[in-house]
Structure 1
Amino acid sequence: MTPPTTAMQPRTAFYRWLALSANFALLVWIVLWQLKLSPHPHLNANALAIGWVIPLLLPLYGIIKGKPYTHAWANFVLMLYFLHALTLLYVDGGERWLALVELVLTFAAFIGNTLYARLRGKELGLKLTKLSEVEKQEKARFDHP
């Protein structure tokens, strides 16, 4: 597959930068948190760090390549960190500031991913087929007289 040749608008480039920097910052933050800032007292910190980092690594290649679809589905991965941060903000006073940083980074990555995927997808002419069109196509394909 050849890379897209359509020029990227400045606004799209800003959201790409936001998505890249926030995703990388969240990755680094999770490693620092689990290994240095507040390692778990009873569990292996290395194993926890690896466990928390693996989901962030799954969409990383597509995010680096600037693929709009990867940016869009990466938000599903971010929900794990969003829920983790909100839960710790509510229940754990000792790690509340760590969770707040995680929440801010996750929110920034979510906004960057969403708006980059939307804007770049429009620039490249990518779009999902409307459900009514899919239904018409399926009906024509499977309903035989």
Structure 2
Amino acid sequence: MIKNLQLGASFCLIALIALCLAWEGWLAPLRPGGSLLILKAVPLLLPLKGILRGNRYTYQWACMFILLYFTEGAVRAWADGGVAARLAGIEVVLSIAFFALTVAYARQTAPSRQGTPH
């Protein structure tokens, strides 16, 4: 169970990084030829190592950090149109999934649960 949560969170985070790069790089940038909003993918690299390694502390803070991406996706899904709105919807789904997986991982790996079967 814990390994599945880790794999799911890792997949969501990597997919979100790829989405941000593709979205602002060439799929639907705010300006033709790309946008500096491509840099929004950089903060997602901060938790990547800890998520891949299963660092419980990283899961704890990353679940709150990802809410920024949920908010951005929700606003742009509502305000933008066309491809950008669909990409924003994907961002919302990935951020919600990442949030749920990281919260579940942090709960399952809590020190109080280490003595109980998973």
Match of 1:38 in 2: 28
Percent identical pairs in the alignment equals 33
In 2, are the aligned partners of 1:62 and 1:70 still within 8 Å (CA)?
Answer: yes
Runs of 4+ in 1 over 3 A off after TM superposition: 122-125
1:109 to partner: Cα distance: 0.8
Give me the TM-score of the superposition, normalised by structure 2.
0.85
Listed one character per residue, the Cα deviations across residues 15-40 of structure 1 (whole Å, up to 9, x for unaligned) are 11111110111011110101020122
Counterpart of 2:97 (choices 108, 122, 134) is 108
**Paired residue type of 1:85:** G
The secondary structure found in structure 1 opposite 2:110 is helix
Mapped partners of 1:44, 1:35: distance in 2: 5
Match of 1:26 in 2: 16
For structure 2, the 5+ residue unaligned runs are none
In 1, are the aligned partners of 2:26 and 2:33 still within 8 Å (CA)?
Answer: no
Root mean square deviation, CA, Å: 1.8
Instruction: Kindly tell me the number of residue pairs found equivalent between the two proteins.
Output: 113
1:76 to partner: Cα distance: 2.0
Counterpart of 2:57 (choices 49, 69, 73) is 69
Match of 2:45 in 1: 57
In 2, are the aligned partners of 1:68 and 1:118 still within 8 Å (CA)?
Answer: no
Match of 1:142 in 2: none
Match of 2:71 in 1: 83
For structure 1, the 5+ residue unaligned runs are 1-10, 126-145
Counterpart of 1:93 (choices 70, 74, 81) is 81
